[in-house]
Structure 1
Amino acid sequence: MTTSPNATAATTGSQAPQSIRLALFDLDHTLIPLDSDYAWGEFTVAQGWRDAATFSLANDRFYAAYKAGTLDIHEYVHFATAAVREQGMLAANEAHERFMQEVIRPAMREKALAVVKAHQAAGDQVVIVTATNAFVTRPIATAFGVDELIAIDLETDAAGTPTGLIRGVPSFREGKVARVEQWLAARGLNWASVAHSTFYSDSINDLPLLEKVHEPVATNPDDRLKAIALERGWRILNLFE
């Protein structure tokens, strides 16, 4: 059960990290059967914010690179945030509310919600750890009832508009491990403080974090991750069948 990292040890009076149980979830194609960043991009095209043909070619190229494990995350974030930078945050926030209602909520599956709720009911600390930026994913995490989100943080200007750059370590590939470690450290914890950790992911890109936790779960896995899961005896979970 989650406890305060600053709780005072009763017998010594000293500050001591407490043990927690972590349930970590990737988001895209893990908890939802789509890529939220890709879908948001297509949604902005439907709003007339981007040229459809030019955008789709680039978006498809980046998505193929992601699936192949060769994505340049900095290049992609600059591309993916262009519409928000041009339209401004007021228009972007209003569009995102429609995106949630028209695209995300209809895609949410009860089976995925149930897995999250089961961990919460068990007292585990649930965290969504995604390579999609926080602007796109914060409302999705909220819709799943998850307060803790580790996502790509966007650098913003004085008006709060993204600049197209990433702030800090991107939560992508090995960066997911680093960002979870930062999240733990901010609470006075480390991996040794974690009594048990589970990570659910569909993607070969998440292999570094899958290898770090106590219980990796290949969730709706891509072909390469499925092969590794079968070889290593990892649990395979399908939430969208």
Structure 2
Amino acid sequence: MSFAPVRPDAPTAPVAGPGAPGPEPAAAPEVPEAPETAAEEGGERAPTLLEQMGGVAGVITSAVPVVVFVLVQAVFKNLVASLVAAVVSALAVAVWRLVRGEKVQPALSGLFGVAVCAFIAWRTGEAKGFFLLGIWTSLIYGGVFLLSVLVRRPLVGVLWHLVNGDGQGWRRSPALLRAYDLATLAWVVVFGARFVVQRWLYDSAYAETWLGWVRLAMGVPLALLAAAVTVWAIRRATDAAKAEQAEAAGATAV
């Protein structure tokens, strides 16, 4: 019987034995990560979408020019005075935020919006023209949010992860996708209700009397309600995604 020579550098098969290592485990399947940012992993909390907008104070102060316009118009019945008061109040909010060292971008955006609304009202010669831009903006926003759900790219999720720099891997998690669908649809309801109600009032005989007050009632309160639904949905989905990830990791380790 002849034996083939063994090369010194030839690879040899591992010998099974009590102390020999077993076969390497298979790679774990990729699991969608929960929406945690790199900043959070490093110990720093990333700013939320609400904080990017200036926080609750920023949302509330954005309504100041509308409140001023409605009050001045109700008391003095003078369109020019109401428009000047609204623009001056929007400028005052921007300066106040700048002096306090807060984010001034939301206030500047609000100032630009108020200036456009004032121009439309001045051109139409009617106080209700001040609300025309907001009415049609609600329709556009509602349509965009609804379309994002239909194409399986719920806008709340896209914006949330875009702001926090998480990427778009969250779409692989059914729990997160359902949560962002729900949160986005909450905003669709808000924008849709604003358009339907205020557009009807704009063409009605009650426009000069009630349109401004309805705009205030459907402004910050409904926005905060939709924001609360968004936070609730995201938290529940985050917990569900973490549970899915832990379950998949445990199944792989067995």
TM-score (norm 1): 0.30
Bigger CA radius of gyration: 2
TM-score (norm 2): 0.29
Query: Greater strand share, 1 or 2?
Result: 1
